[in-house]
Amino acid sequence: MPCNAITAATLRLRRLGFLPTRGHTLETLQSIDTVVFDKTGTLTRGELSLTDVHTCGPLDEDTCLQLAAGLEKHSEHPIARVFHDRKAAVVSDVSNHLGGGLSGRYQGDSVFIGHRAFVESHTRATAPATNAHAGMEIWLATDTAWLARFELDDQIRDDARSAVAALHEAGIHTMLLSGDRSRHVQQVAEALGIEHAVGEASPERKLEELEALKSAGRQVMMVGDGLNDLPSMAGAGLSVAMGTAADLTQLKADAVLLNGQLMQLMEALKTSASTRRIIRQNMVWAFGYNLLALPVAAAGLVPPWLAAIGMSLSSLVVVLNALRLSRTSGSHSQPLPGG
């Protein structure tokens, strides 16, 4: 009996753009009381643009841009895509430091690009003075000199505010965890009405925050986009990857948000609750029917052909009740690529 309901619910979620990839996903959804979001590519569109370049070292702006492109071409992070179409310097021995940035070798020097704290931990040079810029930024430096600061801009997803509001209305807590600057992360959280936000969070810090939530008895869903979200997603009770996420992130997630519409998170939670309710209805119906019909049939009060018809009709009721889950409303269902 549960199989019919689970199959119908999975079909509904697929039509909505929420694809469960693990057998436990529907069941776990029923207990979720906290949703934790990554920022870039999750709450924002992930379509970043470079708004300004500030050099602070011996190299000019064009050289800094080429050096940044030479490092970032080895990454698929949304920030890296800003530099993918630019002329790139030849950088060797490039390594990706999860949640921090990238490092490599250029003309005999070690070079680093990423969040300020990451770059600061790898250069011996004195850090430039902080500035009033509140948006996203990444830094470029060698092991002996700071070179440039790149200011970036990203737009919040159209449905992010309404999705967060819908979660709150349903009694679901929200949290934002991001490796970006704390000031910028707080601004995004305030704009969306997210209850709690932590910026400049390393993958280890994200995992610690999730463990603290779990220790407090919270049932956590983590929604992320990048490879740097993998450790924290693995530490959540349920992980959801955006449809634009890296292939490995999607492969490891418990579900994939195929069309990137955050409102479908709420629809998935509603569908999970409906699935549990319908499974219970079907079990009550089947138990009640058998409790009444089997003694009557055993006593010979109905002919065998009528008993067979009754059993078939009982099964049909169960199937039709489960199929109610596969219905999607026109306001939420969106056509998907290839679907």
- Report the catalytic residues: 38
Using CA atoms, how far apart are residues 54 and 34, in angstroms rounded to an integer? 39
Structure tokens at 315: 């099964």
Angstrom distance (rounded) from CA 191 to CA 188: 5
* SS3 readout for the chain: CHHHHHHHHHHHHHHHCEEECCCCHHHHHCCCCEEEECCCCCCECCCCEEEEEEECCCCCHHHHHHHHHHHHCCCCCCCHHHHCCCCCCCCEEEEEECCCEEEEEECCEEEEEECHHHHHCCCCCCCCCCCCCCCEEEEEEECCCEEEEEEEECCECCCHHHHHHHHHHCCCEEEEECCCCHHHHHHHHHHHCCCEEECCCCHHHHHHHHHHHHHCCCCEEEEECCHHHHHHHHCCCEEEEECCCCHHHHHHCCEEECCCCCHHHHHHHHHHHHHHHHHHHHHHHHHHHHHHHHHHHHCCCCCHHHHHHHHHHHHHHHHHHHHHHHCCCCCCCCCCCCC
